[in-house]
Amino acid sequence: MTSATSRATTGRTRPVAAWLPLAVVLVTQMMIVLDAAIVNIALPDMQQALNIHPADLSWVINAYTLAFGGLLLLGARAGDLFGRRTTFAAGMLLFTTASLLGGFATAPGQLFAARAAQGVGAALVAPSALAILMSLYTETKDRTRAIGYYTVVSASGAAVGLIAGGVLTSYVSWRWVMFVNVPIGALVLFASRSALPKGQFRRGKVDVLGALLSTAGMTTLVYGFIRAAADGWSDDGARLSFAVALLLLAAFVAVERRVSEPVTPLHLFADRERSTAYVARLLLVAGSMGSFFFLSQYFQIVLGWSAMKTGLAFIPFPITIFLSSQLATRVLVGRFGAKLVMAAGMALSTIGLLMLAQMGAHSTYSELVVGMVVFALGNGTAFVPLTAAGIANVEPKDAGVASGLVNVTQQLGGSVGLAVLVTVFATAGDGAATSAAATSKAKDIFVTGADRGLLVAAVLLAASLALVLVAMRPARKQEAVVEKPAEQLVLEAEPA
């Protein structure tokens, strides 16, 4: 990466400057995405060790993704105001410390709080990391390769987390899915001092009220779904949660329209391509979360596999995602256009989930792996143009916020999607929630609920496909988008 110049080191170009900034950003992104999934394999062990109520089990995931997604834009704004390297370091320190405390948790509340603190740290780190990456690699070829690697890490991180979770849970303890972040985080924190540019401070205000309203609104919305999963749709608490969530989110929009420096500049949604990419990404991730959540428990509860074997079962995911994303970056987008590639990827993902929704209590891995590969092939293909579209046509002053919105849609999509799918699972399974029980009846109930959940996940992906087909403009020719760096980034992709 020749354009990662001496700005990242000591004023003189050295070999380390060519790869260290990229390595720091990619390892950071892998930690952030991986941490949303690594706990999936450990959920049965966590439930037994800490006596977590089955209906509350999804909070192990949602406490992280809600804090992350809800505060991401605040983190992006903080990076713009206080310097991206400073914000990055503060977030990484919090993320690492929370990981350590979560590993020592002895009660459900302690674990949920640690996961939420991890999410806050990730919200400070993620937008600064992507904005730094875009500023370091200014030449088209270098930026193409950098965002290609970034997209691969983002798309495959969840699957890698499942594999790592299986290894750690089997050979050490579920606590190590938290502890593993500590040495990696410390190393990244140390390396970032020399690898990342310091950045500049500038005057401005932080829209704390907007950030709190959006986070509270999304958290209340997810709580409503979780409450409905446990107590049914007629529960007064669930209905009240939905009503309060709508009020909070409406207040959030009102605040953002009035403040001078909003945490979410609403004008970013004025571009049809970009706003469509945000919503499509949210729906795609919302549906995708179900595959990891249900399959990781299906292998352990129904098939009786160990955590290690379950983790290894997901190996086809990162391999397929890597290969398909590279193919999309280097060949497909330039030849067929971003819209067609997005649509094809979403269609494949939908088909893959429909195949997985046919699993039964006696299904074999060989029957399921075909659907897994088709699903992963679609995700790897769709995420590349979606990432580029999410940061296209953005003014330099909004680069951090636009980068944050890419991650916001991913994290909030995962949180809300998982809450919806868990609710569908519980109601379809005759009110039963996820459990580590292995009785014949429990297996049948789990399979019934999981199949229904995966079917609804496929509907969410089909909705993202329909949105892209209806709202996205036909892809322009490559020479016509020279003024759009983010699109050009993908359209001019070449082999590394």
DSSP conformation letters of 37-86: TTHHHHHHHHHHHHT--GGGTTHHHHHHHHHHHHHHHHHHHHHHHH-HHH
Q: What's the one-letter identity of residue 465? A: L
CATH (residue range 15-193+263-491): 1.20.1250.20
**pLDDT at site 459:** 93
**Could you tell me the two tokens for 159?**
């699957």
**Confidence (pTM):** 0.73
Contact 317, 374 (CB under 8 A): no
User: Would you put residue 271 in left (φ > 0), alpha (ψ -120 to 50) or beta?
Assistant: beta
Residue 130's Cβ-count burial label (10 Å; 0-12, 13-18, 19+) is buried
Beta carbons within 8 Å of 61's beta carbon, 6+ residues apart: 36, 39, 40, 115, 293, 414, 415, 418
Give the number of other Cβ atoms within 10 Å of residue 463's Cβ: 18
Q: Is the CA virtual torsion 11, 16, 17, 22 positive or negative?
A: negative
Pick the residue with more confidence: 223 or 249? 249
What mean pLDDT, rounded, does the chain reach?
Answer: 79
At residue 264, what are phi and psi to the nearest 5 degrees? -125, 90
Q: Report in angstroms the alpha-carbon separations of 245 from 184, 215, 282.
A: 37, 10, 18
Taking only the tens place, the pLDDT of each residue in 259-297 is: 877 877 777 787 888 888 888 998 998 888 777 778 888
Share of the chain above pLDDT 90, in %: 21
Q: What's the one-letter identity of residue 73? A: L
Tell me how far apart the alpha carbons of residues 23 and 26 are, in angstroms, rounded to a whole number: 5
**pLDDT at site 446:** 85
Computed on alpha carbons and rounded to an integer, the radius of gyration of the chain in Å comes to 21
pLDDT band at 461 (very low <50, low <70, confident <90, very high): very high
In the chain, where the domains are located: 15-193+263-491, 207-262
Q: Is the pLDDT of residue 356 over 90?
A: yes
Tell me how far apart the alpha carbons of residues 199 and 190 are, in angstroms, rounded to a whole number: 17
Q: Is the pLDDT of residue 146 over 80?
A: no
**pLDDT at site 384:** 79
Q: Is the pLDDT of residue 105 over 60?
A: yes
Pick the residue with more confidence: 242 or 18? 242
Tell me how far apart the alpha carbons of residues 178 and 97 are, in angstroms, rounded to a whole number: 10
Contact 329, 171 (CB under 8 A): no
DSSP letter at 496? -
**Among candidates 495, 496, 478, which has minimal Cα distance to 487?**
478
At residue 52, what are phi and psi to the nearest 5 degrees? -80, 130
**pLDDT at site 474:** 59
**Among candidates 320, 298, 318, 311, which has minimal Cα distance to 435?**
298
Tell me how far apart the alpha carbons of residues 391 and 85 are, in angstroms, rounded to a whole number: 21
Average pLDDT over residues 66-94: 82
Tell me how far apart the alpha carbons of residues 370 and 360 are, in angstroms, rounded to a whole number: 15
Please calculate the CA angle 250-219-116 and round it to the nearest 5 degrees: 140
Q: Is the pLDDT of residue 18 over 70?
A: no
Q: Is the pLDDT of residue 83 over 70?
A: yes
Tell me how far apart the alpha carbons of residues 56 and 108 are, in angstroms, rounded to a whole number: 9
In this structure, of 73-77, 97-101, 117-121, 432-436, the range with the lowest mean pLDDT score is 432-436
In this structure, of 6-15, 21-30, 346-355, 403-412, the range with the lowest mean pLDDT score is 6-15
Tell me how far apart the alpha carbons of residues 421 and 449 are, in angstroms, rounded to a whole number: 9
Residue 479's Cβ-count burial label (10 Å; 0-12, 13-18, 19+) is exposed
**pLDDT at site 462:** 94
Strand spans (E) along 296-336: none
Tell me how far apart the alpha carbons of residues 29 and 147 are, in angstroms, rounded to a whole number: 12
